[in-house]
Amino acid sequence: MGLRLWISMSLLRKIEAEAATILSRAGILRDVSLEGTFEVPPRPELGDLATKVCFTLASKLRKSPAEIAAQACSEAEVAEGGLIERVEAKGGYINFYFNWPRVAEELLKEALKPGYGKPVVKPMRVMVEHTSVNPNKALHIGHARNACLGDFVSRLLRFAGHEVIVANYIDDTGTQVADIVVGFLHLGFPLEKEGVKFDQYCGDDVYVRVNRMYSEKPELLEKRREVMKLIDEGGNDVADFARKLAERVLRSQLQTLWRLGVYYDLLNWESDILRAKLWEQAFRKLKAGGYVYYAEDGKAKGCWLLKLSHLPEFSKLESPDEILVRSDGTVLYPGKDIAYAMWKHGLLEDTFSYKIFSRQPNGKLLWTTTVGEGDREHPKFNDVELSINVIDVRQSYEQKVVAAALQMLSRGEKKYIHYAYEVVSLSRRTARKMGIEADESRQFIHMSGRRGWYVNADTLLEALYQKALEETRKRNPDASREFLEKTAEAIAVSAFRYEMLKVSPDKMIVFDLDEALKLEGNTAPYLQYAHTRCAGILRKAGDWSPEYKPRSLKEPEKALLRHILMYPKAVESALRDLRPIHICSYAHKLATLLNEFYQKCPVIKAEEHTRSFRLTLVKAAKCTLASALDLLGIVPLERM
């Protein structure tokens, strides 16, 4: 997973280049590349930037790192008026000390320009597919993790200048939709429940109850098979009903997603994929290219299999080839998924029709695939170089097969990334509170849609909203209701997203409701609070003109400047592995440094020159923080 396509033109790179020039004048380091050897010293007295290059050179030069560093520093020449003022050797490291008036001036000017931190990339066309929740239920917090990660990746890639198409795949033909169709058509469930959000009604009530009834009345499973067959064939009342039903659930899910600030470009319906005959197209190509074969005998007799045994990563497996078509001629999920991936990457003709589904609250149009005519004029959605598919880790093997198939079919031209993430489970405490009777010896309980063991995203969002509302009211007793509600909503959404993003995708989140409702410490409100403090200072300052050049700097100011300087690096790290943690940590550190600065360096009451400089610094820090928060989908607030 990851992209390596950026070139950065930031001030940081300029400083690193100057450091390299300085050291190149020392004989011992002539022609040595410093690329990737820079780091931030652990303590300010060790300088503002360091290189560990002497360590890697030690064995080659048969000298200790300390000797090399000392010699290099004695021979190095610092240019007058440059960005670096002084070079010192210490413990094998070469430490650089900034010429602060110049660095601060250039940095503040750069950070105040819109788009600070944006890397220069070769723009790519990318499809990010995420969420993809079966349209028979409300999103639970595991689905929300998927959406938050996918949305982060989309925001990041767009920030970097890529052309991003965000898709949400809607499986309206699977067993889960069939289950609720059985409920409505054969078990007499009413078509709505007063006062209950439709997706919640379908998932919490109908789906769970229908599944309970399967064990009591096994003949119901026969009904489901009938329903699924009709849905699969299409062009009948049951199929039409199922599609309309799925659409209603989807609209309800979208309310939650939009509330979370997650938006899409395209909805891709499985029933439309069937009707567009993507699989038939793909199967012809697979056969023509000799990628598949028909099994004449063996365990998979009568099936069509994808050849994988020649690939090293599959060759060790007992049965490396993957069954794509059952012996009865029907297609399996990996087959469909390969066809769909081929469509994404432009390896199949685009046989979909499209129409506008909705205008989203952010003003952007949401398109959908559709049956029949569709709009003649529509954006081009497929034919991307890169697709990023956010799907939980349990499907890793199947995704590996799809990626391998695409690799073969495109001869390595197209890149299919499975963005895997671990599931969200429930803490024992929370499960017990919800009345789930699970194995008490386990430290956590896996969620289960069929059994009704889950926490809905709506439920958590609402709990966060109430908590935030209460806290905001406490702090703003005289504020208008509109302000309180708007602020609480921004806090709730931000807190939700940050909880999902601050943990590495390959760690399971054991969700605990009480823990999740805390709004102190390393949480979104902490970041938002630092932002409002900046806003508060700037608001109070009245009219002022910027001052970029400091006369002297206190340590908290330097620390803040150093961290602002590092923003492009945080963005690059995130782009490298697509993980939000880099931006989360960056934003948290920036907020901490702002709070320390706030404590130790008075702005408004400072003497005039310092006042102007500090105001400029606060503004730059605020801009940088807002930029990082935007990437995470956290709402930067002016007051809270």
Query: Which of 15, 93, 252, 384 forms a contact with RNA (CB under 7 A)?
Result: 93
Give min distance, CB of 524 to RNA, in A: 9
* 540 lines the binding site for RNA (CB under 7 A): yes
Give the nearer residue to RNA in terms of CB position, either 97 or 258: 97
Give the nearer residue to RNA in terms of CB position, either 257 or 637: 637
Give the nearer residue to RNA in terms of CB position, either 213 or 300: 300
Give the nearer residue to RNA in terms of CB position, either 318 or 377: 318
Piece of 142-150, 201-209, 448-456, 590-598 that binds RNA (CB under 7 A):
590-598
Site string for RNA, 550-579 (x = CB under 7 A): -----------------------x--xx-x
The footprint of RNA on residues 2-41 (CB under 7 A) is 2, 36, 39, 41
CA–CA separation, 602 and 591 (whole Å): 17
Give the nearer residue to RNA in terms of CB position, either 81 or 521: 521
Piece of 24-32, 105-113, 591-599, 619-627 that binds RNA (CB under 7 A):
591-599
Long-range CB pairs of 468-474, under 8 A, 24+ apart, other chains included = 468/492, 468/495, 468/519, 468/525, 471/519, 472/640
- What does the block give as tokens for 544? 């002022």
Give min distance, CB of 225 to RNA, in A: 11
Query: Which of 124, 436, 510, 513 forms a contact with RNA (CB under 7 A)?
Result: 510
Query: Which of 164, 455, 519, 565 forms a contact with RNA (CB under 7 A)?
Result: 519
* 517 lines the binding site for RNA (CB under 7 A): no
* 98 lines the binding site for RNA (CB under 7 A): no
Query: Which residues touch 362 (CB under 8 Å, ≥6 apart)?
Result: 258, 261, 263
Query: Which residues touch 313 (CB under 8 Å, ≥6 apart)?
Result: 400, 404
Query: Which of 386, 537, 631, 632 forms a contact with RNA (CB under 7 A)?
Result: 537
Q: Contacts with RNA: how many residues (CB under 7 A)?
A: 102
* 206 lines the binding site for RNA (CB under 7 A): no
Going by the DSSP 8-state scheme, the letter that residue 135 receives in this structure is T
Give the nearer residue to RNA in terms of CB position, either 366 or 501: 501
* 225 lines the binding site for RNA (CB under 7 A): no
Give min distance, CB of 92 to RNA, in A: 6
Give min distance, CB of 402 to RNA, in A: 10
The identity of residue 465, as a single letter, is Y
Give the nearer residue to RNA in terms of CB position, either 263 or 529: 529
8 A C-beta contact, residue 37 and residue 20: no
CA–CA separation, 391 and 171 (whole Å): 14
The footprint of RNA on residues 383-442 (CB under 7 A) is 393-398, 422, 442
CA–CA separation, 52 and 297 (whole Å): 61
Report in angstroms the alpha-carbon separations of 348 from 230, 340, 561: 27, 9, 51
8 A C-beta contact, residue 430 and residue 463: no
Site string for RNA, 281-310 (x = CB under 7 A): ------------------xxxxx-x-----
Query: Which of 5, 46, 66, 436 forms a contact with RNA (CB under 7 A)?
Result: 46
* 92 lines the binding site for RNA (CB under 7 A): yes
Element (H, E) at 51: strand 49-51
Query: Which of 525, 550, 580, 636 forms a contact with RNA (CB under 7 A)?
Result: 525
| Burial label, 399 (beta-carbon count in 10 A; 0-12, 13-18, 19+) | buried
Give the nearer residue to RNA in terms of CB position, either 76 or 366: 76
* 504 lines the binding site for RNA (CB under 7 A): yes
* 240 lines the binding site for RNA (CB under 7 A): no
Query: Which residues touch 408 (CB under 8 Å, ≥6 apart)?
Result: 291
Closest CA to 344 of 262, 311, 336: 336
* 448 lines the binding site for RNA (CB under 7 A): no
* 471 lines the binding site for RNA (CB under 7 A): yes
Give 355's strand partners.
368
Give the nearer residue to RNA in terms of CB position, either 233 or 375: 233
* 592 lines the binding site for RNA (CB under 7 A): yes
* 59 lines the binding site for RNA (CB under 7 A): yes
Piece of 48-56, 148-156, 198-206, 213-221 that binds RNA (CB under 7 A):
48-56
Q: What are the E-state strand segments in 468-602?
A: 509-511
CA dihedral angle for residue 308, residue 312, residue 316, residue 318, rounded to 10 degrees: 0
Give min distance, CB of 115 to RNA, in A: 23
Piece of 243-251, 280-288, 406-414, 588-596 that binds RNA (CB under 7 A):
588-596
8 A C-beta contact, residue 590 and residue 530: yes
Give 354's strand partners.
369
The footprint of RNA on residues 163-202 (CB under 7 A) is 171, 174-175
* 95 lines the binding site for RNA (CB under 7 A): yes
8 A C-beta contact, residue 372 and residue 274: no
Give the nearer residue to RNA in terms of CB position, either 263 or 586: 586
Give the nearer residue to RNA in terms of CB position, either 386 or 469: 469
- What does the block give as tokens for 579? 């993980």
Report in angstroms the alpha-carbon separations of 67 from 23, 61, 357, 383: 15, 10, 68, 56
Query: Which residues touch 213 (CB under 8 Å, ≥6 apart)?
Result: 187, 220
End-to-end CA distance of the chain: 38
Site string for RNA, 318-347 (x = CB under 7 A): xx-xxx--xxx-x-xxx-------------
Interaxial angle between packed helices 208-216 and 219-233, expressed in degrees from 0 to 180 and rounded to the nearest 10: 130
CA dihedral angle for residue 278, residue 281, residue 286, residue 288, rounded to 10 degrees: 180
